[in-house]
A and B are shown apart, each in its own frame.
Chain A
Amino acid sequence: MGKPILVVGGGISGVTAAVEAAEVGAEVVLIEKQPTLGGRVAQLRYYFPKLCPPTCGLEINYRRIKSNPRIKVYTMAEVLEVNGAPGNYNVKIKIAPRYVNDNCTACGECEKVCEGERISDFDFGLSKTKAIYLPHPVAFPMKYVLDKDALAPGDLERIMAACKYNAIEPEMKEQILELEVGSIIWATGWKPYDATKLDNLGYGKYANVITNMQMERMASPWGPTQGKIVRPSDNQPPKKVAFVQCAGSRDENHLPFCSYICCLASLKHSLYLAEQDPEAESYIFYIDLRTPGRYEKFLKKAEAEAKINFIKGKVAKIEEDPETNDLIVTAEDTLSGKKISQKVDLVVLALGMQPSLASAEIKGIKIDQNGFVVEEEGMISCGCAKMPLDVMTSNETATGAALKAIQIIKRG
């Protein structure tokens, strides 16, 4: 069926686009920048619309990839440049060295002897991993990866001695790959907006101001706290939690668009809290509570199952009590017309989604002023590379993208 389709990004959208295209007979190359597929979904405790754990959606797709000879997967791979025209692209790809080869069985012996540590970006800085680490328990490929910069003296020798499968390859080099493809699906997804830019909200300054994605990691059973939601300052479970909606979103000084899912994410987080402590109270400070489409039902569910106080007014000031590390959030309750200063144990910033390519420089791709991929014939975007979306709609756009990509390669 003509030239292969390149799918850039191995999150839920990219994986979906890749299997959908391959299962109707197209050759697919799927590349992912991280050492594992799974993207943002793998970082969540539950995802919308049905609050499934990430394993639920990812594992079935990994199976579909494994059983399909037409999909070739490269992890730790990035697009450097794109040349050519629809039906006939030449793509230059850089593959970073993993220093661990395909012999790896993920037995974990190497990790036990390794002493060097690195801050986990997967856990948004809330934990550390060893210098040699498994990205997460549902990694694909299920292989360790080595961060050479984090090795302690003597680590490398110990790791190599511990590996019974001869899987450690410290001499592995960066590779440049040139691919001839017919069409490209951009499923590069999103990253949390840089919360330190919101200088009035205290992130990075106050220990107990965290982001919504950090909340997901804490709630995740394989997260930094094994699923327990606690205050970073003293590891105590919070009794009162403030959610700051539109942290960076709908803001001309930051992200001028609505990030679509943050209101629902905060409602979901209120349910996480209720699950751990039915007495825990949420304070959701919002401009407009946005529950698109049928998600209105989810709002009703959250209202019924969790103790939530809704305050219409954006938090624009957060102060810390230096003794207790408690936080005082201030907003104007626009319904009463009075200012509210609420003392809470934990603040969760409902941080907006910034497209991953916002500051990327890839030759041959068009990006709008916010970083979303501009679709052209032969270059199709899907998921959050296209616009902020939930998982379900991302997958719908991914399926649509697969069809468009197939149309190009069929035409030749």
Chain B
Amino acid sequence: MCGIAGIIYRDGSHDIGRDMTRMLQSMKHRGPDSTGYALYGPPNDGLAIMRYTLADSNTPRDFEFDERLERHQGRVLQRLKAAGADIREHEQETDYAHRVTFSYDGDLKDLTDRIEDIPDAEVLSIGRSLEIIKDLGDADTVCAQYDLDEFGGTHAIGHVRMATESDVDISGAHPYWAYPFKDVAVVHNGQLTNYFQWKRRLERSGHRFQSECDSEIIAVYLAEKMAEGADLEAAMRDSLEELDGVFTYIAVTDDALGVAKDEMAAKPLVLYESDDVVALASEEIAIRAVLDREIDTYDPYEGEVMVWRR
């Protein structure tokens, strides 16, 4: 089933980590397998932020597990430096999840490929303000694990996953970063039926995919369109024609948040919009979790694309 949510403030920074946790926790029944966030904090003086994992939370803890993690972590920092990155800060969030801040002017694809060449390493996101955090369990669990209550920013999307066609692991959890494009992420509820065609097309263009999940296609598809000159809204409109299946997805960039619904309108989305904030989710109770008052909401219709800027 899965549940998706998004919120964008038009009046400056808010506690988006706390808000998104409330929204996602209220939809726990739509997907208790994993929970993920794409949070957009303030621009970090032009520094890049990379979130990555070196194992999964359900990876078997054999006798060499800790030693292997330490070795691989050392190689990540070595490779960042070798690629020309000037590391400013490194934080270890869990025994397998890390956050590193650095200055870097080079090719993000090259950098990501170098990191992911290290066994078990997976780059969750790279951006100037985007940070993707995802793990197994419900929103309260992931929020506590990664200390997200205090995360401030202007917009965020999130996802609770009911795994159906790929495994319960961090790779299969949403949101998906649009490798190798900075600050673009997507959450999706639905199923793409021309997934393999698009995967092959995009792989031929040099993209790689972290997961076997169809939703990852959307992020890379949109980012490639934008790299060719389309804005977010135009790229999303193209997707209604070119992606096949049933879907409602939310896409975000560093300054915008958009939603697209396929022509069957088979996947739910409820929307609230005011001068200060736009909140949307698979269920209205998620919006009520952050706006605890009587509000006027509606469902976007089939084939609709809507984009808001912060």
Q: Tell whether A pairs with B.
A: no
